[in-house]
Structure 1
């Protein structure tokens, strides 16, 4: 069954779990992300770890590097992607 976890990051504290779900809810989380031009990253192992957290909970320190790399990659793509007029 498909799972999804959405993270919120305000550039001050560690990212927190903003939404999570499986099945239909996972599909809906991904649809909303696409509608708002939020990058999707597929990592079943990371989703499994993040899905054990509660909503609003900060990611554990052990996942900082993995999540930081994804955030940096997303920013790099966004800054080099042609902007719509």
Structure 2
């Protein structure tokens, strides 16, 4: 049973792009509600993998469009990109998919 009066969480989404000549990934789209749903739908239709992390999205929502991610997020995003590369490799070779990284673990890792 669901409570009709309990608010449903509003979806949020952030899209990053990283080109060969870019110093760091950039925020290329972000939004809440319907806009977030459209960002996710477009990504899925284009075959782009969608990773869910409320904490990471919260951090990325504070970055202006067409701005690079801050250096504090470099390691976190690099780990996600490496994971995505491993997913693509596993899919091509028929191997099991790797477990996702904890996107905020590198932010709290004191061994940096």
Q: When the two structures are superposed, what TM-score results if normalisation uses the length of structure 1?
A: 0.91
For CA contacts below 8 A with separation 6 or more, give which structure has more relative contact order.
1
CA shift digits 1:47-73 (9 cap, x unpaired): 011001111000000001111111111
Residues 1:3 and 2:15 aligned together: no
Match in the other structure for 1:68? 78
Count the aligned residue pairs: 83
Unaligned runs of 5+ in 1: none
Could you list the structure 1 runs, at least 4 aligned residues long, displaced by more than 4 angstroms after superposition. none
Structure-to-structure mapping, 1:24-63, within 5 angstroms: 24-63=34-73
Cα drift, residue 80 of structure 1: 2.1
Unaligned runs of 5+ in 2: 1-9, 94-112
Q: Which has the larger radius of gyration?
A: 2
Q: CA RMSD in A?
A: 1.3
Q: When the two structures are superposed, what TM-score results if normalisation uses the length of structure 2?
A: 0.70
Match in the other structure for 2:98? none
